[in-house]
Structures are given as structure tokens and as C-alpha cells.
A and B are shown apart, each in its own frame.
Chain A
Amino acid sequence: MRIDLESLSKNFGATRVLRDFSLQIEDGEFLVLLGPSGCGKTTCLRTIAGLEQPDSGRVLLGGRDVTHAEPRDRDMAMVFQSYALYPHLDVFENIAFPLRVRKAGAKDVERRVRQAAERLGLGALLQRRPRELSGGQRQRVALARAIVRQPNAFLFDEPLSNLDAKLRVEMRAELKRLQHDLGVTSVYVTHDQAEAMTLGRRLAVMKDGVLEQIGAPEEVYSHPANLFVAGFLGNPAMNFFPGRVDSDARAFVAGTVRVPLDAAQLDRLPVGAAVTLGVRPENIDLGRTSNDGWIGGRVYVSEAMGNETLVIATVGEYQVCCRTTPEARFDFEAPVWLRLRPDRLHFFDSATTRALWP
């Protein structure tokens, strides 16, 4: 079901957790809320759930105002970071709980619980108590409890963050497929960029209770709206060079870093004003010999990751991270030359932090 958040504000004491926060979530959509801890993403989710009341603003569910409705009247299913399984009930009864509350018939409960358990591979564990399960199994029970009924929406509050890395990747894929198969509107809160990039059809980046940018993950990644989004998304993070545009030289200058600009860029970028250049590590070419227009530096450290090699080079007063082929090996302090790919440059207004280019 469609969810609309209309200029929500929420304060905890003097802390402003949500500020005039608006968001539309389409029916059947998988939306990911991404942000650093304390950015208000969990509060936002809990406001949708009805576990938190906004100080002002409205929450609409399928066009109906539910701002002050109890959680039970919104009929949404939530998966908690702590799983929140009922310790006194076995797996079967944990999954059956939402059905029992709705007074479903015994046969119906049996069928639907088995179906949900089967879907998540819990068939053999139905008689166990939560404390007898591993973290991954608990996570599956929490998911089964959510999908055992047809809720208006799924709300996920960092559901994978307590799992170990390998399991997290597995569950991530499974969750994506599950949501696709069920087609239920989903809101997913995380601070993990891999989850944010892979899971959502749309990605909303938050900071300090404000929506910084929303769009398809690829779009947010390739066209970050401001310095915060550019720096937050991507691992390793985007390299930044605060400098200014020199119109005589037809170049961007930041200390020893000079990047030639084309006519269109020169046309768009403010001459003389403080501008920050951003380049992602994968958009930097690395060479051992000098070429025309390449920037010279020295290897600070080189990290072979197996599937890629990360080279951190010292260029003037900057440390620049470059992503290169897995076979590449560089010694400490080896001279290197860098080329920032001209078609992959990002420029930001240093004062307002807004994106100027592309």
C-alpha cells in the first residue's frame, strides 16, 4: 500500500530528529532509508509503524490519515534489528502470533505457518525455542512472522546488522527475492551501503533528520546531489579536492592538482568561487609513467584486496584513493601518475555543498 509522509517533525528534547521530512513510497515499492547513525532513519520508520508519534506532519497509508492510529490499526509487519522473538513461545507459535491475534482458524494458522516456515527453510525447527536457534535462524523466524500474513507494508529496521558478513550477503539476496515475490510495499532502514545499493528500487539518503537525496541507487551513486551524499555513498569514499576554477587556464586548480575543463564545464562552473572536485576511486587511472595532463604523486600505501587493488597516493597535500586491477603491485613511495577521467568528474559548490556538475 502507498505510504505518504507529509512534512514530519519530531524532537527528542532539544534534539531535532526529523525536520519537515516528506517522502512518498509507492505501492509495492522497496525503498531503502540510508544514513549515518543518529540521522533519524529509525525514527522515521517507527513513525510509519505507529510506534512513534510525530510532533507535526502527517502519515498517510493508502491515502488514509493514520498519523495517530495505533500500530495494530495500520496492519504493517516489522522486522527488528534484535529480531524481538517471543522467548516463551516456540518457533511455530512465534510465526503464528499475528494470526492468533487476528483469531484465525486453527487449520488456516497451521497451513500458513507451515507455508511461511517452508519458504524460509524453517520446517525442521518449528518446535524449537528462540534461544535454541542461531542468529541466522532467528532472523528467518522474524521474517517468517512478517510474511505469514499479508500486511500493508513491511518495515525493516536494520534486520541484517547482527548477522556475520557471509550470512548477511546471503540473507540480503534472499530478502530481495522475497520482497519481489510478495510485492508488498517495503521500507528498509540501514547504514550499510551494500544493502542500500542492492536492495532498494529507490534509495533515500538522510542526514540530521533531513532527506538529502532520493532516487534509484545507481542514480544517487552516479549523480550525488551534494557533498554529503557523494562522500557517504561509495566504499572507499569519493576523493575530494577543494579548489577553484581558473578561467584563464581553462582548468580546475586545487594546489598542485590541475584538471583541464571543457567548454560546457567552464560555462556551468562559477569562476573564482570555491569549488570542490570529487572523483570516485574507480574513476582514476593509475600509471607508472608520466603522460600529458597526468598528475604526479607517490604511493602512500597499496592494498591488494584479491579482486582489486586499492592504491592510496600522496598528491601534493592530498591523499588520493585509486581503485585498480588486482594484479597491480606498487611499492611504498613509488612514483605514480594519476589521471582523473574527465567524463567522471563531480563538482560541488564548497559553500552550499550542492552539486554543480554533472
Chain B
Amino acid sequence: MQEAAIERGRVIRPPSYGRIARIFPHIVLITLTFTSVMPFVWMFFGSFKNYVELTSGKTLWPVNWTFENYVAIWQRASFPRGLLNTAAVTIVVTSAVMITSALAGFVFAKYRFWGKEQLFTLLLCTMMVPFAVVLVPLYVTVAGMALTDKLAGIIVTGLCSTFGIFMMRQFMESIPNDLIDAGRIDGAGELWIFTRVILPLATAPLSALAVFTFLGNWDSFMWPMVVLTSPDNKTLPLVLAGLRSLYWSRYEMYAAGSMLTVVPVMILYAVASKQFVRGIAMTGLKA
């Protein structure tokens, strides 16, 4: 219901609705637009300046456009490698989370078995535990499997998502049982019902979940920092954070490195902004 309201674009106005009341929100929002975008504008133009020009800061627009920063970073800071590693982890984990969340969400929503609610509550409890608590034990677990300094060490710990299972369960509970029963009466198997009846209905929350998981893994920092040690295995955020010691206070390098990390995400956001926003709104609505 609330989701529909968002998409309808309902308007809530103050009762005394004069000209000032009409313009004022726009002023606030335009100011906010400016403060949201401006740092990125600085980053964009800064990445095309050389050090002297960037730090003297005369103009926003680069006088001498240079691509040297990108070339230097691409060659020296093992960016291509980091990009590949991050892409690999993100793609595998996102696909896995979509599959496990949809399947487990379906079972928790539509099956009846002994102890289901208790089991589900137990899973939800893991969301309350700060990551710092399991940081060391999880590291010991992964080390015991000989997965330290391997991308697999990050992937295995991300295969299931409690939030994902929760979100898919919440959604799938709203799918009428009649649809499933109709399939069963026609002799359809459970997998058929899941893939042909449930999944097509769940594309909206599933794509929101995909976007969420993608972002979380693309930006993940603490856990990769613990698990991955050798330069060849580092993911993009680690490579990027490494720029601080590689190029001490060379801000044009920071800007170029940030650009390389941010641009893929921004492209994705521009294409799928609806899923992003809907995904966030859902976390708020369903809780």
C-alpha cells in the first residue's frame, strides 16, 4: 500500500498553502542537491588535474586536462586486478544470495513444519550480533578451512543473507496460497512452482535485494582487509585504501582512484535507481 503511494507520487502539503510555502521546499532541496553533488564534481575535475593545479585550486575546471593520473594508477596500484577480484566476489555472492534468499524465503513463507517460527527467529537473531563479535572466530573458521588470502574466503562467508531471507519471506507471504495449490493440483513439482509461479512474481524484491547485495560487496572493507593479504588478491576498496600509503597526500591520485571505483556503481545506479530506492523503502516498510 505504501509502496503504491510512493509510486503514485502523493503530495502532502501544509494547509496554508501560499507562494512561500510552495517555493521553500524547493530551496531546501536544491541546496541539498548542490551539497550532495558538489564533492563528486570536485572529484571528477580533480582527477584530471596535476598535483600543482589541484592543490593551488584556482579554478574548478582543469586548465590542463591530463589523463596521467589514471594511467599511473592503472599501472602502479594493481587496479585492474582489484577490479577483477571485486567483480568476481560481487557476482558470485550476489547470485548466491539471490538463490538462497528466494528459496529459503519461499520455504519459510509457504511451508508448515514443526519449529518453523523458532528457527526463523533464531536466524533473525544473527542480525543483532555486531560483526566485531564474530570477527576473530570467523577468521579462525576461515583459516581452519585454509581459505585465508583467497577470494573464496570472502565468498563462503557471504553465501546466505539473513536480511535477504527475511525480505523474501515477507514478500512471499503475500503471494496467495491458491496460486501454489492450483499448481499442485495440476501435478506440478515444487521446483516448477517455485521457478514458474513464485519467482516471476518476486522480481521486484529480488532485484532490490540484488542491488543491495551488490553494493554491500562492492564496498566491503573490513572483512576483506582481514582475510586478504597479498596484493594480487586484494579487492578494489583495499587497493583504493592502499593509495594513501602509495601516494601520500597526492590528491589527484585519490581522485582518480575514487573515480575508477565510483563510476561503475554510479552507472548501475543511473540504470537501476528505481530498484535502489525501492529496496531501501522496503526495508523500512516491512520491519
Partners in one complex: no
Enumerate chain A interface residues (CB-CB to B < 8 A).
none
